[in-house]
Amino acid sequence: MYEKIVIASGPVIVEDNKVLLNQSSGDAYWKFCGGQPLTNETLQENSQRRVKEEMGIDVKVINPEPFFLFIQQRKKGVEKDIVLIHWLSARIGKINSGLDVQKWDWFMLDKLPENLAPNIIPTLRHFGFIKK
């Protein structure tokens, strides 16, 4: 049964062949910063706000063309259509994680953790960071 559409956005931050990922209190997946936008902001503004809330940093968009990914998910009998939008971005400032972030780390692109959110590999592939 179809019940919900989720739209979320966030930055992709890669430095020295390492990608910045975090785990939030909602689940154990390693993810990019980001989430659902407020009604009064654009997807890019949401991306910038969410990284500030989650990691205490600002970002500069490097590539103005975002990567869009559509995922269908079924949890507890509920189907969701999820649209994720990511911008390749550069970090500005020192990381100081927010309260909702349980863990964060820089992961080597060739040694990513196993419990990745489903958008990580396709997004990194789109921006040319991994080939697999």
Q: Note the pLDDT tens digit of each residue in 57-94.
A: 999 999 999 999 999 988 788 889 999 999 999 999 99
* Averaged confidence pLDDT in the chain: 93
In whole angstroms, what is the distance from residue 96 CA to residue 101 CA?
A: 10
Residue 43 has pLDDT above 60, yes or no: yes
Residue 23 has pLDDT above 90, yes or no: yes
Q: Where are the domains of the chain?
A: 2-126
* The pairing of beta strand 2-15 with beta strand 78-92: parallel
DSSP-derived 3-state class of residue 127: coil
- The C-alpha angle with vertex 126 and arms to 120 and 131, in degrees rounded to 5, equals 85
Give the pLDDT score at 132: 64
pLDDT one-digit tens code per residue, 101-128: 999 999 999 999 999 999 999 999 999 9
* CATH value of 2-126 in 3.30.565.10, 3.40.50.620, 3.40.50.10490, 3.90.79.10: 3.90.79.10
Give the pLDDT score at 1: 43
Give the pLDDT score at 105: 97
Residue 127: CB partners within 8 Å, gap ≥ 6?
12, 14, 63, 67, 88
